[in-house]
Amino acid sequence: MVVESQTRGGSEPVVLELFTSQGCSSCPPADELLRQLANDRDLHVIPLAYHVDYWNHLGWRDPFSSREWSQRQGEYVRAMKLESAYTPQLVINGSRQLVGSSTFQIRSAIAQESKRKPEAKVSLTVQGNEVVVLAQTKEPAELIVVAYENGVTTKITNGENAGRTQTNDAIVRTLKSAGTVKGIVEKRVRITLTKTMGVVAFLQDPATRRITAAAGT
């Protein structure tokens, strides 16, 4: 399967990175909104959910949580000069952030980002457990490949969401950096995949963290 980052009609894909946790009572509405946005055929979004680990001490260890995802959120906190990290936080194309359940503001931001002029191009082909990425960029950018999983249900027995049965989508399982690229470059990235997983590749400015191009299955 080959997926191009550009579509007809001037609509650019918008990467939505939700920082969430099953241990946070404010997160389920944001998780549900991310699912709705992903399933909205009028939108061209690439949703990703990073489950942070700093809520795990409150009685429930999120099975999808990772220190790596908390560190990625920290990179955005520093780049955007925010006071602190929080959940649910939605980062849009690496360049703006909102509370993850703010439906109107998020939809408005998606509309604005989808009309931006293309800054780069990226496409990907999945061949078994190898992702072949073709990137084209005038400015140096970090090439990142992500594997995610949809439709995983968890019975939460402790913490702020105790008693809830939660179904999560776009769960980030693996993130790999293929290094900094410039010009026209082909990269092959080995990544463990199952039949229930999808793949995303995107180009990100190393300094500002803005995502300049993306493609996903």
Give the position of tokens 């980052």.
5
User: How confident is the prediction for the chain on average, in pLDDT?
Assistant: 93
pLDDT per residue over 115-126, tens digit each? 998 899 999 999
Q: Are 5 and 215 in contact (CB under 8 A)?
A: yes
**So what's the pLDDT on residue 128?**
86
Token pair, residue 186, equals 């082909």
Whether the predicted pLDDT of 8 surpasses 50: no
pLDDT per residue over 42-60, tens digit each? 999 999 999 999 999 999 9
* Mean pLDDT, residues 150-177 taken together: 97
* Mean pLDDT, residues 102-113 taken together: 96
pLDDT tier, 9 (very low <50, low <70, confident <90, very high otherwise): very low
φ, ψ of residue 78 in degrees (nearest 5):
-70, -45
SS3 labels along the chain: CEEECCCHHHCCCEEEEEEECCCCCCHHHHHHHHHHHHHCCCCCEEEEEEECCCCHHHCCCCCCCCHHHHHHHHHHHHHCCCCCCCCCEEEECCCEEEECCCHHHHHHHHHHHHCCCCCEEEEEEEECCEEEEEEEEEEEEEEEEEEEECCEEEECCCCCCCCCEEEECCEEEEEEEEEEEEEEEEEEEECCCCCCEEEEEEEECCCCCCEEEEEEC
* Mean pLDDT, residues 129-153 taken together: 96
The residue extents of the domains of the chain are 9-216
Nearest Cα to Cα of residue 106 among 93, 86, 90: 90
pLDDT per residue over 81-92, tens digit each? 999 999 999 999
**So what's the pLDDT on residue 196?**
86
Dist. CA 68–CA 74, nearest whole Å: 10
* Mean pLDDT, residues 198-206 taken together: 97
**So what's the pLDDT on residue 35?**
97
User: Letter for the amino acid at 154?
Assistant: T
- % of the chain residues with pLDDT over 70: 95
**So what's the pLDDT on residue 11?**
72
**So what's the pLDDT on residue 217?**
84
* Mean pLDDT, residues 158-171 taken together: 96
pLDDT per residue over 170-193, tens digit each? 999 999 999 999 999 999 999 989
Whether the predicted pLDDT of 4 surpasses 50: no
Q: Given 3.40.50.2020, 3.20.170.30, 3.40.30.10, 3.40.640.10, which CATH number is that of 9-216? A: 3.40.30.10
Beta bridge partners of 145: 176, 201
